[in-house]
């Protein structure tokens, strides 16, 4: 059980980092020349474009069907609480990550993409329903 919780924490953290990268947060904006940073908007735009494209390329290069499985809602809430000391607002980043991954996979493989999310014994294949469950769980914990 402890190993499962640690695995969920790692998955959640990795998905939040990937979503931040693909949303253009934390990208390279410039370079140093002497003691001065020279901003390069062209590099910023290029990196955001590459980051967003990487989501689609991943699924385009995948053989076979795409199965996206979300962390159980209760486990996701617990993992987020452990990562942030109880602050659950970053679960919206996980929700964005899931929505964007499902959208990218569906665009590339419309007939071969499946999403599965659960909250206890309730299971859904609708990412929006799962995200609703996440937000409901956050409200219940607040």
Percent of the chain with pLDDT over 70: 84
The pLDDT value recorded for residue 120 is 94
Residue 76 near residue 88, CB atoms below 8 Å: no
Residue 76 near residue 134, CB atoms below 8 Å: yes
Output b/e per residue, 69-87; b: 16+ Cβ within 10 A.
ebbbbebbbbbbeebeeee
- Average pLDDT along the chain: 83
Q: Rounded CA gap, 110 and 43, in Å?
A: 32
- Confidence category of residue 29, pLDDT binned at 50, 70, 90: low
Judge whether residue 31 has pLDDT over 60: no
Q: Both tokens of residue 64?
A: 């076979």
The pLDDT value recorded for residue 119 is 97
* Average pLDDT for 108-113: 94
pTM (2 decimals)?
A: 0.75
First to last CA, the chain: 25
The pLDDT value recorded for residue 40 is 63
20 compared with 39, residue with greater pLDDT: 20
The pLDDT value recorded for residue 41 is 65
3-state secondary structure labels for all residues of the chain: CHHHHHHHHHHHHHHHHHHHHHCCCCCCCEEEECCEEEECHHHHHHHHHHHHHHHHHHHHCCCCCEEEECCCHHHHHHHHHHHHCCCCCCHHHHHHHHHHHHHHHHHHCCCCEEEEEEECCEEECCHHHHHHHHHHHHHHHC
The pLDDT value recorded for residue 118 is 97
The pLDDT value recorded for residue 116 is 97
Q: Which residues pair with 37 in a beta bridge?
A: 32
Query: For 55-110, what is each residue's pLDDT tens digit?
Result: 788 888 889 999 999 999 999 999 888 887 777 788 888 999 899 899 999 999 99
Q: Both tokens of residue 36?
A: 């001065």
């Amino acid at each position: 059980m402890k190993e499962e919780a640690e695995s969920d924490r790692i998955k959640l953290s990795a998905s939040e980092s990937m979503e931040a990268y693909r949303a253009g947060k934390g990208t390279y904006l410039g370079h140093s020349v002497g003691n001065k940073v020279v901003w390069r908007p062209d590099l910023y735009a290029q990196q955001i474009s590459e980051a967003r494209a990487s989501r689609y390329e991943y699924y385009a290069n995948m053989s076979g069907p795409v199965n996206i499985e979300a962390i159980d809602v209760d486990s996701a809430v617990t993992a987020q609480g452990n990562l942030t000391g109880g602050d659950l607002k970053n679960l919206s980043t996980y929700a964005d990550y899931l929505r964007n991954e499902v959208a990218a996979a569906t665009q590339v493989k419309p007939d071969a993409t499946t999403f599965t999310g659960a909250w206890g014994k309730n299971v859904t294949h609708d990412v929006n329903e799962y995200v609703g469950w996440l937000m409901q769980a956050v409200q219940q914990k607040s």
